[in-house]
């Protein structure tokens, strides 16, 4: 699981940090609205794995004698820290980029809510409650989306965000990590928790991997079928999108079980393991680093100020006939920096646990 989580964080850093947004390979961009790309699978993978980890962690702590009330307090504390980190990153971007408005929602804020609610459901009713809750959230949200249009302007999640957050959103009137679309994201986390519950069983590793593979394939098929009537859409986190991406995450987890846990040749996985053991730290520091590099202004060759980020890209990486290659190499170099940092922390057994 650490390896897959690390691969997910690696993908997140690469797609979030190209040398220039004017030259990016299409799979490394979000779908414009409906549809999906590789980039659109990254965040749901992380939430799915958060659900897996949640199920394993709660079971372990319960076995150690912690009460449900103590575990619930722990969940609230963790959610508070994650939300505070997310708001701090948004504030840093607001100040560094001199934005007109401070964004309230965000990736870490959504993770906080999803983990808190999914954990509370597990504590209250276990796997059965998680399954029923995920189904209710997906079906209920699909019904809510029918109130209004599914277009960028006029969709219900956007109207809710505008009413609750006002101008403090990613763009006027809408936020991809908004309030209403967090409901199916919670379902994604609950589906991951169900996978985690299955991993806790005493079945053989091969059987667990096979079950995850079959369940994942079924979810992918269901998501694609549902997508014919309810478009697959990351910005709205439609129910079809939630099913599809949870299925893909389950298949990827099954593959990692086989590739990592049944063979001794896992040297290739070490960088991902380093990132996976400090996933929140890697995301937070890489985001803060990007904000600082973009926010710092220096003189350009034409005398006009430019960001340190732009200067590094133009000086070192903007050397190819296809600028998308240089842009990708910049992102990979930035990823390598944080792999090295997490590798050092891993060797010193330093892990940030939120």
Among the candidates 244, 262, 280, a domain finishes at: 262
Q: Residue 73: its pLDDT value, please?
A: 96
Q: Phi first, then psi: what are they for 299, rounded to 5°?
A: -75, 140
**Considering its fold, how many domains does the chain have in total?**
2
323 and 226 share a domain? no
62 and 206 share a domain? yes
- Closest listed residue to residue 272, CA positions, set 293, 255, 287, 291: 255
173 and 78 share a domain? yes
217 and 273 share a domain? no
* Integer Cα distance of 62 and 45 in angstroms: 26
Identify the helix (H) or strand (E) that includes residue 190.
Answer: helix 182-199
320 and 291 share a domain? yes
Q: What is the DSSP string of 310-339?
A: HHHIIIII--SSSHHHHHHHHHHHHHHHHH
76 and 3 share a domain? no
Has residue 354 got a pLDDT over 80?
no
52 and 10 share a domain? no
Has residue 226 got a pLDDT over 90?
yes
* Integer Cα distance of 277 and 352 in angstroms: 8
Q: Which region among 72-81, 93-102, 185-194, 255-264 has the lowest average model confidence (pLDDT)?
A: 255-264
Q: Residue 203: its pLDDT value, please?
A: 86
Asked if 243 and 223 count as a contact pair (C-beta separation under 8 A), the reply is yes
Residue 65, Ramachandran bin (φ over 0: left; ψ between -120 and 50: alpha; else beta): left
CA 104 from centre of chain = 17
Asked if 40 and 31 count as a contact pair (C-beta separation under 8 A), the reply is yes
Asked if 190 and 210 count as a contact pair (C-beta separation under 8 A), the reply is no
Where residue 214 falls among pLDDT bands split at 50, 70, 90?
A: very high
Q: Percentage of residues in the chain with pLDDT exceeding 90?
A: 89
What is the rounded average pLDDT for all residues in the chain? Answer: 95
Among the candidates 262, 279, 307, a domain finishes at: 262
13 and 69 share a domain? no
CA 140 from centre of chain = 23
CA 218 from centre of chain = 22
Tokens 């701090």 appear where? 88
Among the candidates 233, 262, 291, a domain finishes at: 262
Where residue 74 falls among pLDDT bands split at 50, 70, 90?
A: very high
Has residue 265 got a pLDDT over 90?
no
The top-scoring range by mean pLDDT among 198-207, 231-240, 293-302 is: 231-240
278 and 341 share a domain? yes
Q: Residue 125: its pLDDT value, please?
A: 94
Which residue range(s) make up the domain with 306?
1-30+265-354
* Integer Cα distance of 348 and 150 in angstroms: 49
216 and 77 share a domain? yes
Q: Residue 266: its pLDDT value, please?
A: 82
352 and 306 share a domain? yes
286 and 192 share a domain? no
Has residue 239 got a pLDDT over 80?
yes
Where residue 275 falls among pLDDT bands split at 50, 70, 90?
A: very high
Has residue 143 got a pLDDT over 80?
yes
* Integer Cα distance of 226 and 220 in angstroms: 10
In degrees, rounded to 5, the angle at the alpha carbon of residue 236 between the alpha carbons of residues 324 and 99 is: 60
0.85 exceeded by pTM: yes
Has residue 131 got a pLDDT over 80?
yes
């Amino acid at each position: 699981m650490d390896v897959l989580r690390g691969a997910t964080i690696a993908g997140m850093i690469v797609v979030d940090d190209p040398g220039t947004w004017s030259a990016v390979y299409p799979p490394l961009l979000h779908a414009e609205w409906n549809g999906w790309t590789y980039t659109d699978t990254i965040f749901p993978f992380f939430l799915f794995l958060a659900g897996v980890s949640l199920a394993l962690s709660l079971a372990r702590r319960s076995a150690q004698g912690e009460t449900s009330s103590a575990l619930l307090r722990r969940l609230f504390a963790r959610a508070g820290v994650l939300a505070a980190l997310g708001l701090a990153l948004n504030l840093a971007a607001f100040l560094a980029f001199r934005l007109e408005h401070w964004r309230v929602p965000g990736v870490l804020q959504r993770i906080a809510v999803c983990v808190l609610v999914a954990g509370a459901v597990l504590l209250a009713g276990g796997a059965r409650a998680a399954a029923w809750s995920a189904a209710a959230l997906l079906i209920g949200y699909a019904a809510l989306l029918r109130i209004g249009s599914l277009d960028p302007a006029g969709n219900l999640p956007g109207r809710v965000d505008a009413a609750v957050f006002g101008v403090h959103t990613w763009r006027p009137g809408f936020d991809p990590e908004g309030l209403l679309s967090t409901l199916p994201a919670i379902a994604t986390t609950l589906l991951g928790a169900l996978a985690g519950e299955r991993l806790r069983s005493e079945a053989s590793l091969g059987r667990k991997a096979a079950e995850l593979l079959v369940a994942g394939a079924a979810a992918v098929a269901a998501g694609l079928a549902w997508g014919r009537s309810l478009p697959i859409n990351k910005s709205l986190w439609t129910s079809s999108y939630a099913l599809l991406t949870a299925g893909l995450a389950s298949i990827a987890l099954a593959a990692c079980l086989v590739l990592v846990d049944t063979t001794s040749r896992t040297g290739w996985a070490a960088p991902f393991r380093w990132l996976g053991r400090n996933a929140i730290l890697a995301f937070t520091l890489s985001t803060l680093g990007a904000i600082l590099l973009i926010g710092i202004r220096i003189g350009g060759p034409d005398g006009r100020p430019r960001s340190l980020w732009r200067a590094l890209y133009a000086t070192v990486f903007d050397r190819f006939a296809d600028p998308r290659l240089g842009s990708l190499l910049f992102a990979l170099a930035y990823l390598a920096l944080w792999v090295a940092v997490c590798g050092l922390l891993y060797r010193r057994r330093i892990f940030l646990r939120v």
